[in-house]
Amino acid sequence: MSAALDTETHIASSIRADAPPAILLDKVNKWYGSMHVLRDISLQVATGERVVVCGPSGSGKSTMIRCINRLEQHQEGRIVVDGTELTDDVRALDAIRREVGMVFQSFNLFPHLTILENCTLAPIWVRHMPKKEAEELAMHYLTRVKIPDQARKYPGQLSGGQQQRVAIARALCMKPKIMLFDEPTSALDPEMIKEVLDTMVGLAEDGMTMICVTHEMGFARQVADRVVFMDRGEVVEQGAPEQLFSNPSTERLQTFLSQILRGH
Amino acid sequence: MSQTATDPRHLRTPPKRQLRLSWADERVRAIVWQVLIVGAVIGVIWWLVRNTQHNLEVRRIATGFGFLQREAGLPIGEALIEYTPASTYLRALTVGVLNTLKVAVIGIVLATIFGTLIGIARLSRNWLLSKIAAVYVELIRDVPLLLQLLFWYTILQSLPGPRQALNPAAGVFLSNRGLKLPFLDWQPAHSWALLAFVVGCVATWLFAKAMRRRQMQDGQPRRIWPAALGFMLGLPLVVWLAGGAPTAIDWPELRGFNFRGGMTVTPEYFALLIGLTTYTAGFIAEIVRAGILAVPHGQWEAAQALGLRSGTVLRQIVLPQALRVIVPPMTSQYLNLTKNSSLAVAIGYQDIVSIANTTLNQTGQAIEGIAIIMLVYLSISLSISFFMNWYNSRIALVER
């Protein structure tokens, strides 16, 4: 499957077909009151696979990825992450949250902690890592997102793009197996979008399993093994980015793409 | 960033402004206004002092604090230190200050606990709990405090007399003479055990701090409760046993028309404490609620997504941010509670205002009496302010 996707710009796929699926959603349903926001979502993400989720606002794409680490609870169906099923069991939830990193649209850095403390907090409190080791780890990832010199500053002193890169480093410090991105560039000024996307491309090149909700079609073309199009709580269409973008088979995707392209 | 240092423009200093002697100059205007206002204030003070001196002379009133050493002759219902009507005014006023502190300190502690619980209850997802908290807050905030104090006092006064006292548990009597409780027959060993408990609390605090620091170093979580138990319970127990383990308890007993022995909570103190606590708790509840709501929901989500447990999220992420919103208005509430305790006059609790009032009626030293009251409240309020400001600066947020 992956060989067919590779274009000149597309980075090599790292899907490991032999490994069990990283994420499995099986007929997941969710309601807000009487509003049916996720309808029979079934989705399987392989280890090392990079999935981009797109769709109009209100289509349920954020809700879906927030269900994967139970920031939202699904009411019907099964979600299995890294071999562990999400239930009311707190231990299962703890295990899953340790392995799944998340990056938010609004960064959500902790404003009362320095950049370094933001990154070391979870390794120290969740992984019980010695502080010194956690700081070395944090500096490693901060170097990777190209802001090691800001480590002693506070989030309020950084630009939006820098804050989002810190948020990525903070998630990576937990050494997650899976990364979830919830519209990571939507709150950024245009000139800062690229620095964040570059960081994400770097992650993809290292073979991280990723689900990314975004409208950045360039990023999808370059990175995604698969694009999932959602509308009104359903997965309408999915496939390789080139195939999906150049040859949409449903009218809903056609409408969405024309709106997106008009915006650019 | 680094090229600005070598930028030649960076080496230029700002030009000095010349003061132009003209009404059109903003700074000249500012200086003139300040001089005029300070002059007016000094003038008013001078006039007040002159006027007072003149009036005192005409009425032949001697000023000064000599009266403090005279015998007070006024009876005081409850005193934390030894006091008889034969004691001096100074001692009577000291009793008053201690009574004010007794109601203010315990009131602040109880109002904080009670208010925090109600504030959290109002945020609860439990419909009944949050509605009860909301009704409580609205009811308490909208009725004047004086009325509430009279309400509680009336309720306590309408309790049955000592002979028909309510007796909910052995040795506990509730009557219109107040609440009677059995109490330890106080021995020196008890004082030593109490001291050991305080030492144990400090030791626990230091120990927990050291352990947290060590956990930050090597990441290993450490159990604190065994040591805490040893420090806070074991140590006092050992001291108490070493002191001969006195167990005698002073039970309240009905003798004639009233109770003897035991510990007494007078109806006046009880009514004032309940009134101040419930009233202030209503305001504190709203402050706590606002503080917690001021922390964006995204902070919870980000912390949970990192795998932090909710207790850790609350301690490390939410509370530090909520406190910087909570502390300044909380200071105002503490000051309010302390100053509102002067309404004690209305229900006959003898706080500093009540005793200073009697003093100035008996001695005619009105200026000194009022000055003492003002000085007492000023000292208490400034102490609270200084402490809270120090605490606030410790938890303040660094931004830009």
Contact criterion met (CB below 8 Å) for B140 and B114: no
B19 — contact with chain A (CB < 8 Å)?
A: no
Q: Is A32 on the interface with B (CB under 8 A)?
A: no
Chain A hits for B397, CB-CB cut-off 8 Å, are 111-112, 154, 156
How much is the mean pLDDT over chain B?
87
Query: Worst-scoring range by mean pLDDT, A64-73, A140-149, B17-26?
Result: B17-26
Cβ of A154 under 8 Å from any chain B Cβ?
yes
Residue A2's pLDDT band (boundaries 50, 70, 90)? very low
Q: What are the domain boundaries of chain B?
A: 89-158+266-395, 186-243
CA torsion, ordered B268, B273, B279, B285, to nearest 10 deg: -170
pLDDT grade, residue B2 (50/70/90)?
very low
Please give the residue of chain B at the shortest CA–CA distance from A167. Answer: B302
- pLDDT of A88-114, one tens digit each? 888 899 999 999 999 999 999 999 999
Pick the residue with more confidence: B162 or A30? A30
B397 part of contact set with chain A, CB < 8 Å = yes
Helix ranges (DSSP H) in chain B: 3-6, 26-58, 89-123, 127-142, 145-157, 188-218, 225-229, 235-242, 267-293, 297-305, 310-312, 319-340, 352-363, 366-395
CB contact under 8 A, B298 and A108: yes
ipTM here: 0.89
Contact B219 A131 (CB under 8 A): yes
Average of per-residue pLDDT across B347-358: 92
pLDDT at B400: 43
At B227 the pLDDT is 87
Q: How many residues does the structure list for chain A?
A: 264
pLDDT band for position B6 (50/70/90)?
A: low
Q: Where residue A1 falls among pLDDT bands split at 50, 70, 90?
A: very low
Please say if the pLDDT value at position B174 is more than 90: no
Q: Is B26 on the interface with A (CB under 8 A)?
A: no
| DSSP H or E run through A244 | helix A241-246
Q: A264 pLDDT exceeds 60?
A: no
Measure in Å the smallest separation between the Cα of B131 and chain A Cα atoms.
Answer: 21
* Cβ-nearest to A126 among B220, B299, B306: B306
Kindly state the average pLDDT of the residues B355-375.
90
* Calpha distance B348→B354 (Å, rounded): 8
Q: Which structure tokens are listed for A82?
A: 């890294």
The answer to whether B120 touches B234, Cβ cutoff 8 Å, is no
Whether pLDDT at B167 is above 70: yes
Predicted confidence (pLDDT) per residue in A221-248, tens digit: 888 999 999 999 999 999 999 889 888 9
Which of B73, B77, B71, B70 has its CA nearest to residue B96? B77
Query: Which of B125, B297, B306 should one mutate to test binding to chain A, selecting the residue with the greatest count of A CBs within 10 A?
Result: B306
Which residues in chain A have their CB less than 8 angstroms from residue B318's CB? none
Q: How many CA atoms lie within 13 A of B310 on its CB side?
A: 3
Is residue B286 predicted with pLDDT exceeding 90? Answer: yes
Answer whether CATH 1.10.10.10 is correct for domain B89-158+266-395.
no
Contact of A211 with A51, CB cutoff 8 Å = yes
